[in-house]
Amino acid sequence: MFGFPKAKPQQVTLVNDAGETVTTFTLEPKETLLNGALRNGVDFPYSCKVGGCASCKCQLVEGKVKELTDKSYLLSAEELQENYILGCQSIPKSEVVVRMPDASSATVPGTLTSIHWLTHDIAEVHLKLDSSVTYRPGQYASVAPADQSLPARCYSFAHAVDDGGDSAVSFFVRKIPGGKLSHWLTDSDNLGKAITLSAVAGDCTLREGTAAIVCLAGGSGLSPIVAILEGALKSGQDTRPVQLLFGARGQEDLYYLNELNALGEKWRADFTITPVLSDEPQDSDWQGKRGWLADAITADNAAGHQAYLCGPPVMIDTCMEKLKGLSSAPGQIFFDRFSDQSEGGSAG
Ligand SMILES: Cc1cc2nc3c(=O)[nH]c(=O)nc-3n(C[C@H](O)[C@H](O)[C@H](O)COP(=O)(O)OP(=O)(O)OC[C@H]3O[C@@H](n4cnc5c(N)ncnc54)[C@H](O)[C@@H]3O)c2cc1C
Ligand code: FES
C-alpha cells in the first residue's frame, strides 16, 4: 500500500542584514518558521501570531514555504516583490534561508505612568521607559504587562520622536469591550505597574516626495497618523497639501481635533481635516459628512495622492478598494490594519 509521504522536518538558517548566519535550527513537521524559532530560543519579533500585524515579517532568501494566509493585505508591493513572508504563517517546504525581521527585538522595560481620556472609550496611554526607544513616525510596538499576566498587543506610537529617541512614549488606545490588554492599559488601578515594550516595527511611515498626502484614520487609527503628520512637520515635508479624513461613529467619538487644527495652522501648504461620522443620529445638529470613511474618498481629495491608512481591517479594506478604483499611483498606498487576534473584529 502507498501512503502519503510524511512531511519532512526542514532546516532553517537565519541570517542578518549582512547575510551572515545568526543561527540554524530544525523545524518539527508542519511547524511555522516563527514557532520553530521561538522553540529554539530565537528572539524573533512577533505579536498576533495569526497573520494580522506583520511584526514577524522577514525575507525569504532561499527555499520554499507554504503560506497559511494571504499576506498581500499586510505587505507592500515592494515587499511582496522582494520575497517577504510572515514568519507566523509560513511552513517551510524545503531547507530555507531567512533574513531576520527588520525590527528592534530588544525588550525595553518601563512603567504605565498616565492615562488621559480623549473620548468615552479612547485614552492616550503614557509609558515611561527605562531607556530611550527610536522609531519612525507611523510605526508600532508590542506592549505587555511585565509579569506576562496578559498577552502582548501592538500599539502605534502617537507622536513623532526626536532623532535620539525618547523614553516617554504614548499611544491612543481604544478600550475594547471584553478586550484584555486594552482594559489593562486604560485601568487607573494599573498606574505605576511595570510593562515591557518590544518589537518596534511597521512600514506605514512617510515617504519623501512632493505628491499631496491623503490620511485616512478610523478611531484609534488616528494615533500613527498624528505621529506621521508631526514627523512631516519636523522634517520640512509640510509643503505638501494634506487631506485628513477621520472616521468615527458619532460626535462623541471625535477627538484631537483642536491639536490637529493647531498642527494645520503651522503647515505651509493646504491642510484640510474632514471628520466623517458613520452612526450619528439623523436628527442631530451635525452639519459635517456622514457615512463610511470610504464613501468620503473622492477624486478631488485622493486621486494622485500618496495615501496613509490606519484603523480597523474593514475600514482599510473598503478604503483601499476605493483608492484603487481612483487609480491611485501604484506603490503609493501605505497602511496599518489594527487587526485583533480573531481578524474578524473591528479594531479602532
Ligand atoms: C499593527 C497594529 C497596530 C495597532 N495599533 C493600535 C493602536 O494604536 N491603538 C489601538 O487601540 N489598537 C491598536 N491595535 C489593536 C491592538 O493590538 C489590540 O488588538 C486591541 O487593543 C485589542 O486587544 P485586547 O487585548 O484588548 O483584546 P483581546 O482580549 O485580544 O480581544 C477580546 C475580544 O474582543 C475582540 N476584539 C478585539 N479587538 C476588537 C475590536 N477592535 N473591535 C471589536 N472587537 C474586538 C476579540 O476578537 C476578542 O473576541 C493595533 C493592532 C495592530 C495589528
Ligand atoms: S505575528 Fe505574524 S503577522 Fe502578527
Q: What pLDDT score does 4 carry?
A: 54
Query: For residues 271-280, b (16+ Cβ closer than 10 Å) or e, as one string?
Result: bebebbbbeb
Mark whether 196 and 219 lie in a shared domain: no
Match 473622492 to its residue by C-alpha cell: 298
Question: CA–CA separation, 126 vs 103, rounded Å?
Answer: 22
Indicate the pLDDT class of residue 165, thresholds 50, 70 and 90.
confident
Q: What pLDDT score does 347 carry?
A: 33
Mark whether 113 and 95 lie in a shared domain: no
Mark whether 308 and 260 lie in a shared domain: yes
Mark whether 217 and 331 lie in a shared domain: yes
Residue type, 7: A
Mark whether 289 and 185 lie in a shared domain: no
Q: Which pLDDT tens digit goes with each residue over 296-322?
A: 999 999 988 999 999 998 999 899 999
Lowest mean pLDDT among 10-24, 67-81, 162-176, 245-259: 67-81
Residue 173 Cα: closest atom of ligand 1 = 11
- Inside any domain, residue 6: no
Q: What pLDDT score does 1 carry?
A: 47
From 272, 141, 136, select the one nearest 208 (Cα to Cα). Answer: 136
Q: What pLDDT score does 83 carry?
A: 95
Mean pLDDT of the residues in the chain: 90
Mark whether 91 and 128 lie in a shared domain: no
The CATH number given to whatever domain includes residue 183 is: 2.40.30.10
Mark whether 145 and 120 lie in a shared domain: yes
Please give the average per-residue pLDDT across 265-280, as a whole number.
98
* Cα separations in angstroms, 20 against 17, 24, 87, 196, 334: 7, 11, 19, 29, 30
Mark whether 115 and 71 lie in a shared domain: no
Q: What pLDDT score does 5 carry?
A: 58
Cβ–Cβ under 8 Å, residues 207 and 334: yes
Q: What pLDDT score does 76 carry?
A: 74
The CATH number given to whatever domain includes residue 32 is: 3.10.20.30
pLDDT reading at 342 higher than 60? no
The CATH number given to whatever domain includes residue 298 is: 3.40.50.80
88 Cα to the center of ligand 2, angstroms = 6
Q: Give the SS3 label for residue 261.
A: helix
- Inside any domain, residue 208: no
| 32 contacts: CB under 8 Å, gap ≥ 6 | 68, 87, 88, 89, 90, 91
- Inside any domain, residue 28: yes
Domains identified in the chain, total number: 3
More confident residue, 100 or 117: 117
- Inside any domain, residue 342: no
- Inside any domain, residue 144: yes
More confident residue, 249 or 51: 249
Please give the average per-residue pLDDT across 324-346, as a whole number.
69
Q: Whose CA is nearest to atom 52 of ligand 1?
A: 338
Mark whether 52 and 15 lie in a shared domain: yes
pLDDT reading at 329 higher than 80? no
Q: State what percent of residues in the chain have pLDDT above 70.
A: 93
By residue range, what is the domain housing residue 35? Answer: 11-99
Mark whether 74 and 135 lie in a shared domain: no
pTM to 2 decimals?
0.83
310 Cα to the center of ligand 1, angstroms = 13
Q: Euclidean distance between the first and final Cα of the chain, in Å?
A: 55
70 Cα to the center of ligand 2, angstroms = 12
Residue type, 59: Q
Cβ–Cβ under 8 Å, residues 345 and 176: yes
Is any atom of ligand 2 closer than 6 Å to the C-beta of 49? yes
Q: What pLDDT score does 56 carry?
A: 86
Q: What pLDDT score does 50 carry?
A: 80
The dihedral formed by the CA atoms of 153, 157, 163 and 168, expressed in degrees to the nearest 10: -80
Lowest mean pLDDT among 85-94, 204-213, 318-327: 318-327
Is any atom of ligand 2 closer than 6 Å to the C-beta of 176? no
Residue type, 18: A
